[in-house]
Amino acid sequence: MPSPFPGMNPYLENPELWAEVQSWLVIAIAELLVPQLRPKYRVAVEKRVYQMIDDNSIFIGIPDVTVGRSVTSIDKEHLWVKTR
């Protein structure tokens, strides 16, 4: 009998299984991106994203995979924490 849900797999989208499938898929996507983007960019998994407005930060969300500049390509001056 053909699936009553074209384009969907009810077995994989079962609530008991989907979280695990989704986690493995996210890791696989990140692993495929890393060799194509390094060393200029880095790939992060489930990194929190904030928007800065003046001195306030607003939580935007937690995307599955994020691509950003590598620490080596960021101005090193911005990485120093002032202690005084």
- Mind listing the pLDDT tens digit for each residue in 9-24? 766 677 777 778 888 9
Helix, strand, or coil (residue 4):
coil
pLDDT greater than 80 at residue 80: no
Looking at per-residue pLDDT, the higher value among 75 and 12 belongs to 12
Give the pairing of strands 41-45 and 65-69. antiparallel
| Of the ranges 3-7, 50-54, 79-83, the best mean pLDDT one | 50-54
Q: Tell me, what DSSP letter sits at residue 70?
A: -
With 50 as the cut, is the pLDDT of residue 38 above it? Answer: yes
DSSP letter string over 43-59? EEES--EEEEETTEEEE
Q: What is the mean pLDDT of the chain?
A: 80
CB neighbours of residue 58 within 10 Å? 9
pTM to 2 decimal places? 0.59
The encoded tokens of residue 24 equal: 């493995």
Distance CA 69, CA 67 (A): 7
Whole-angstrom Cα distance, residue 23 to residue 45?
A: 10
